[in-house]
Amino acid sequence: MAIRADKDTAPDIESTGPIKPGDSDARVPALVTQLRSDAYLPNGKQEAGSTLYTQTISEAVAQLQRDYGIAADGVVGPDTLKVLNFGADDRARALAVALERRRWLSRTPPATRIDVNVAAAELLYYRDGKLVDERKVIVGQPGKETPFLLAPIYRLVANPTWTVPKSIQRGELAGVSGPYLKQHDMVKRGGWIVQRSGPSNALGLVKFDMRDDVAIYLHDTSNRALFDRSQRHLTHGCVRVDDALGFADRLAEEEGVADRWHQARASGKQTFVPLPREIPVRLLY
């Protein structure tokens, strides 16, 4: 993702519809030029002046899409064109924001910690200064972004129930019927909608409780197919973890509470398992 000074003088690629593999489109030569400038497409991979959108170009576009958190389908649509038309000023501003965020981070982060790269939708787990685990996550969608946050995990929750936030009750679940609640194993308690424990629970089978005042935490999910997406900014702000049960098993084993954790899981009921020491979590951009 190099910053190109020449891009500010090059005309934008027009948004006149998608470009798909096999299409012949007058915008392809300009697309190829920009992909080469950004080192996504080596020289010699496309005949000069050709308007054919080949599989090779599509694969280069897919790599660019992965780098920018766009669905990596190799189709040049509005989001991809927006990235391709970034100028040097746009990229310089993005770099400046990233450097400013980095400036505020501790130069000596905790040796044992969990870092969630929200922009890339990935989790990195460090143990005693070494990276020991990496996995995909699903994070906040545009308008409901996962916040920048530093807070520790202090307990594991087996078979969690889900108390639906009021914002969701007033939005997506406004006016839901009794049959809908029954179908989704939900009940009303004191003005709140609560989903019972179980494999269909929105939080899945484990929740990682964190000490923060904005109700943000890591958790499992009942819809694990979403981890196969390249664009995983889909939640209301919390962080869904790929193979969350496996991750919880690892933390419980390393923190010496594996027996209590397995008993809690086997109970089938919401059960809290405190960690003997809190594990710092950094939600970063």
Encode pLDDT of 136-193 as tens digits: 999 999 899 999 999 999 999 999 999 999 989 999 899 889 999 999 999 999 999 9
In this structure, the answer to whether residues 131 and 207 fall within a common structural domain is yes
For the stretch 36-65, pLDDT in tens is: 988 898 876 666 679 999 999 999 999 998
pLDDT over threshold 60, residue 197? yes
Which carries the bigger pLDDT value, residue 230 or residue 148? 148
Q: How many Å separate Cα 176 from the centre of its chain?
A: 29
Catalytic annotation on 238?
yes
In this structure, the answer to whether residues 122 and 213 fall within a common structural domain is yes
pTM here? 0.73
Quote the number of domains for the chain: 2
In this structure, the answer to whether residues 67 and 202 fall within a common structural domain is no
22 in a domain, yes or no? yes
In this structure, the answer to whether residues 18 and 148 fall within a common structural domain is no
81 in a domain, yes or no? yes
In this structure, the answer to whether residues 145 and 278 fall within a common structural domain is yes
In this structure, the answer to whether residues 76 and 127 fall within a common structural domain is no
In this structure, the answer to whether residues 128 and 212 fall within a common structural domain is yes
- Catalytic site residue from 219, 233, 236, 262: 219
Domain with 14, as residue range(s), is: 5-90
Question: If you count them, how many residues does the chain have?
Answer: 285
pLDDT over threshold 80, residue 226? yes
62 in a domain, yes or no? yes
Query: Which among 34, 60, 90 is the end of a domain?
Result: 90
In this structure, the answer to whether residues 143 and 236 fall within a common structural domain is yes
Catalytic annotation on 184?
no
CB atoms closer than 10 angstroms to residue 232:
21
pLDDT band at 5 (very low <50, low <70, confident <90, very high): very low
In this structure, the answer to whether residues 52 and 120 fall within a common structural domain is no
Spell out the residues 6+ positions from residue 96 whose beta carbon is closer than 8 angstroms to its own.
none
Query: Which among 61, 90, 119 is the end of a domain?
Result: 90
97 in a domain, yes or no? no
Query: Which among 59, 90, 121 is the end of a domain?
Result: 90
Using alpha carbons only, how large is the chain's radius of gyration in Å?
23
For residue 32, which phi and psi values (nearest 5 degrees)?
-60, -40
CATH number at residue 59: 1.10.101.10
- Catalytic site residue from 184, 233, 238, 262: 238
In this structure, the answer to whether residues 21 and 150 fall within a common structural domain is no
What was the pLDDT predicted at 69?
72
CATH number at residue 215: 2.40.440.10
In this structure, the answer to whether residues 111 and 62 fall within a common structural domain is no
95 in a domain, yes or no? no
In this structure, the answer to whether residues 64 and 125 fall within a common structural domain is no
